[in-house]
Amino acid sequence: MRHLIACPNISTPAITQLFLDYVWKLHRLPKTIVSNKGRQFVLAFWEKLTTRLYIKALLSTAYYPEMDG
């Protein structure tokens, strides 16, 4: 399923707000995020989203498995 929301070229916080207004209320957290904006955009979006939802994100990489406890 996809949701098409008309929006101008706007910032990550504004896109996060659009996501919360139009998508979150119907589907909750996404299983995947597909973007043609690159990893930096996805990371910024995910950071804003988790902050707005009061989720403490503890991100690690595959290169440091000891961070997983």
The band of 64, judged by pLDDT with boundaries at 50, 70 and 90, is: low
State if pTM tops 0.85.
no
Rounded distance, CA 47 to CA 31, Å? 15
Rounded distance, CA 24 to CA 19, Å? 6
With beta carbons less than 8 A apart as the criterion, state whether 35 and 41 touch: yes
Mean pLDDT for the chain overall: 79
Instruction: Express each pLDDT in 11-44 by its tens digit.
Output: 888 888 888 888 888 888 877 777 777 788 888 8
